[in-house]
Structure 1
């Protein structure tokens, strides 16, 4: 995939976020690993107005080039990609139900076995930190240890993937799990699957590639 193709695919993913109802306005952002750093969506620009030239190229030292400024959340995109060699895409959005739980500082526990698709027995909620800060990036990195997704306290969610399709799939799944969890909480605290059962679930998922997006397979550096 060429650089232009990757940029176009990033914009398409952003539009899919809006169509899926997991993002609105100019909220949210997407980044893709490159050989020299990352590509990231620009700050404060509606997705339906973006063109490939608006996507910002960044190095891991925070330097950037292009027609527009990078997303204000570039720090956690840069830091996650630097820390997580197993992923190539970082997707952040303010999906309604995941954000509602984040406003309560509630992680998503293993009330349903599909919580395991994020890599563990829960989807953690990071403590609140001001948007765009190193403190927020540090909190996100901690919440994402051994996980493919997390919530951000009073903010939104982050989902990771080996490619754009996988990261978008994860974000939609996190939102679905958050929606179901909030519905269950409206009746009462749901029972939580024990760790030994979740260990069996995670083992089964790993052996079956269960819950992976259709294109979630190892991709070369720089691929979407």
Structure 2
């Protein structure tokens, strides 16, 4: 895609996520890889009110080279891109159910593999990294270790960050993660039938 097409897509997907309740206020941020580096949503911007002419521009070394200042959470995006070189886009959301899951005091997988779409879009399970202040560089090492396990990571007491081969695929995976978290809550006190190991492996293969 050209720079102008990527800008338009970033604005359109941001508005779609906002309009459908996956992001509120100025929460969440998006980024996409370009020929010259990266485009990213500006700091304190709303995904529902982005402008194609007002996006942060960063070069390949993550230096701010144009537009408004990027989100303070640029450190997370950089960690994911550098860990997953195939990633062309990253979506970070504070969606309701994933954020609720991120606040639970539980060990082990917090969202079970209940549907094939969960496995196909985010993998076998989604790792959780400990809480760090938003924008803190201290999250770097733990986030890189988690991102090496799969395209989606839950951020404790915060939300999610998801990588994709396109901005659309990253957004779809982030939405699938949110719906899967909602299913986990709806079925929380009931006996469930998760996918078997053979079924999961078939999907991954």
Per the normalisation by structure 1, the TM-score is: 0.81
CA shift at 1:4, angstroms? 2.2
Question: Secondary structure of 2:150's match?
Answer: coil
- In the other structure, the counterpart of 1:30 is 30
Residues 35/125 of structure 1: CA separation in 2 closer, same or farther (3 Å cut): same
CA distance in 1, matches of 2:113, 2:5: 38
Q: Is the 8 A contact 1:60 1:82 kept in 2?
A: no
Unpaired runs of 5+ residues, structure 2, are none
Please, which moves more after superposition, 25-34 or 42-51?
Answer: 42-51
Residues 184/52 of structure 1: CA separation in 2 closer, same or farther (3 Å cut): same
The 5 A counterparts of 1:40-79 are 40-79=40-79
- In the other structure, the counterpart of 2:19 is 19
Unpaired runs of 5+ residues, structure 1, are 204-224
- In the other structure, the counterpart of 1:80 is 80
- In the other structure, the counterpart of 1:116 is 119
Residues 111/9 of structure 1: CA separation in 2 closer, same or farther (3 Å cut): closer
Residues 199/65 of structure 1: CA separation in 2 closer, same or farther (3 Å cut): same
Question: Secondary structure of 2:16's match?
Answer: helix
Q: Is the 8 A contact 2:23 2:47 kept in 1?
A: no
Residues 143/5 of structure 1: CA separation in 2 closer, same or farther (3 Å cut): same
Q: Is the 8 A contact 2:120 2:203 kept in 1?
A: no
Q: Is the 8 A contact 2:75 2:136 kept in 1?
A: yes
Matched pairs, number: 202
Q: Which runs of 4+ in 1 moved over 6 A?
A: none
CA distance in 1, matches of 2:72, 2:78: 12
The superposition leaves residues 91-138 of structure 1 with CA deviations (integer Å, 9 ceiling, x where unpaired) of 001110011001115532324443312453212222211111222233
CA shift at 1:51, angstroms? 1.7
